[in-house]
Amino acid sequence: MVFSSITFLFYFLPLVLLFYFIFHKKGRNVVLLIASLFFYFYGEPKYIIVLILSCVLNYWFGKRIEKDRKHAKSYLIVNLILNFGMLFYFKYFNFVIQNINGLFHTDFSILSIVMPIGISFFTFQATSYTIDIYRQKVSSAKNLWTFATYLALFPQLIAGPIVRYETVSEELEHRQETKQEVAQGIQRFIIGLSKKVLIANVIGELIAILTDLNTTTVLATWVTAIAITLQLYFDFSGYSDMAIGLGLMFGFHFLENFNYPLIAKSITDFWHRWHISLSSWFKDYVYIPLGGNRKGKLRQYWNILIVWLLTGLWHGANWNFIFWGLYFAVFLILEKAFLKDYLTKHPIFAHTYTFLLIIVSFVIFHFEDLNTLGQFLKNMFGFGHIAFSNVETIYYLRSYGIVLILAIVAMTPIKKVIEQLTKKARWKKRIDRIEPFYYIILFLMCIAFLVDESFNPFLYFRF
């Protein structure tokens, strides 16, 4: 079940909200837990056991790590082996076997393994929980049901953001739902739904059309590359907005996951703004434990390389994701080595350089077949022996021009300009009057698009 579906919007969510607010506060976690398990079961019936097993194991290890400090490190190591062993089996086992077969000309069998939805997200959440208990940053959950509610919480279960236990530990036990925050949650959800349905899905249609053209052009490849970047941003940031909005409806305050990353002034700045919960997870649980920047420049560069190799692998068991991670590692190292000062002094160049690198990065991210990726990059940079443009390219560019312009405007902090206007007395009353109609119209437009279209995937759904 995805958030941008009629089933979720008109059946699942209204029923969950109804039962949630009917129940007394002490029973609301039970409602959320049952709803979350059903939500996961609806999408992955046979793999619900994986999620339940992760809940039970990590809760038990969290308790043992907290109570038995003498053997806490041993418990943590076993816990990490089990968590990442499960992730490795479902996500990377066949990838490793395929590469062994290719490298050594062996014939090991490929298993019929389907990766459970969201396993990368809930594995990282569970791991951060036990590590933070070991570091004595948080206390363990008081009971299994509370911890299971945290790990399985449906707003962020299948595609993040990666919510750490310390962020919501207090709210799991003592939270106050208010009418104002429920209203804010609904507004935030509608904004995310609009990003997904009105922008990402439509741009996805353009990508499908352009990649299927019989005769491609240099211009078509660049439009496709920009469209891929915009689609991924609005798809994933839209999902994060919906997750944060749902959290507010139930009294939870999830941390922001995106901060206008496509206007970044360096690759370093980009990763301070993009998928913040993931980059901060790798920083706190991998980069800093490896030594961070405390052991000299060469060691720092090595640590960056390891972190971004793992970041690439986290996104998928395929070589394009590995190359994607290493691609970012190279530019992060170059910026730390000598580019940082130059980018600071030349802001126009910095933004242009960053946006172009981001576009190329998501082309690498998009094409899992390396031959297709290589040919696409050749075409982008004029080495594919193709025309710069043709009538067909111009036709589709004009047809989807409005949504591309809208997406480019929406990737900027225009919302902050509007917020500044609302603070002025003469504008505030007018905006307050029309704001409810704005959200109603957006929601109705989303429903119209959902009823009318079949293209509605979540790009991060299987991470």
Residue 462's pLDDT is what? 52
pLDDT tens readout for residues 67-112: 999 999 999 999 999 999 999 999 999 999 999 999 999 999 999 9
Residue 1 inside a domain? The answer is: no
Other CB atoms within 10 A of residue 193 CB: 25
Number of folded domains that form the chain: 2
pLDDT tens readout for residues 211-237: 998 889 999 999 999 999 999 999 999
SS3 content of the chain, % helix, strand, coil (to 5): 75, 0, 25
Task: State how far the Cα of 420 lies from the Cα of 68, in Å rounded to an integer.
Answer: 53
Residue 457's pLDDT is what? 59
Which residue in the list 105, 174, 275, 315 is annotated as catalytic? 315
Band of pLDDT at residue 417, cut at 50, 70 and 90? confident
Residue 137 inside a domain? The answer is: yes
Residues 80 and 107 in one domain: yes
Residue-range definition of the domain harbouring residue 213:
181-452
Q: Global pTM?
A: 0.93
Query: For residue 376, is pLDDT > 90?
Result: yes
Other CB atoms within 10 A of residue 390 CB: 15
Residues 214 and 160 in one domain: no
Residues 31 and 52 in one domain: yes
148 in Cβ contact with 55 (< 8 Å): yes
Domain boundary among 151, 175, 199: 175
Residues 205 and 237 in one domain: yes
Residue 457 inside a domain? The answer is: no
Residue 43's pLDDT is what? 83
Range from 164-178, 298-312, 426-440 carrying the lowest mean pLDDT: 426-440
pLDDT tens readout for residues 53-71: 999 999 999 999 999 999 9
Residues 87 and 221 in one domain: no
| Angle of CA points 441, 423, 419, to nearest 5° | 50
Residue 241 inside a domain? The answer is: yes
Q: In whole numbers, what is the pLDDT of the chain averaged over residues?
A: 93
Is 366 assigned a catalytic role? no
Residue 295 inside a domain? The answer is: yes
Residues 334 and 374 in one domain: yes
- Backbone phi and psi for residue 182, each to the nearest 5 degrees, phi listed first: -60, -45
Q: What is the DSSP string of 434-447?
A: HHHHHHHHHHHHHH
| Angle of CA points 221, 222, 223, to nearest 5° | 90
Query: Can you say whether the dihedral through the CA atoms of 267, 271, 272, 275 is positive or negative?
Result: positive
Domain boundary among 175, 202, 225: 175
Residue 167 inside a domain? The answer is: yes
Band of pLDDT at residue 426, cut at 50, 70 and 90? low
132 in Cβ contact with 165 (< 8 Å): yes
Residue 459 inside a domain? The answer is: no
Residues 223 and 121 in one domain: no
Residues 309 and 193 in one domain: yes
446: amino acid identity, one letter: C
pLDDT tens readout for residues 300-330: 999 999 999 999 999 999 999 999 999 999 9
Question: Tokens at residue 93, please?
Answer: 């086992």
Residue 158's pLDDT is what? 87
Query: For residue 452, is pLDDT > 90?
Result: no
349: amino acid identity, one letter: F
Residues 171 and 191 in one domain: no
Domain boundary among 155, 175, 195: 175
Residue 24 inside a domain? The answer is: yes
Q: Over pLDDT 90: what percentage of the chain?
A: 86
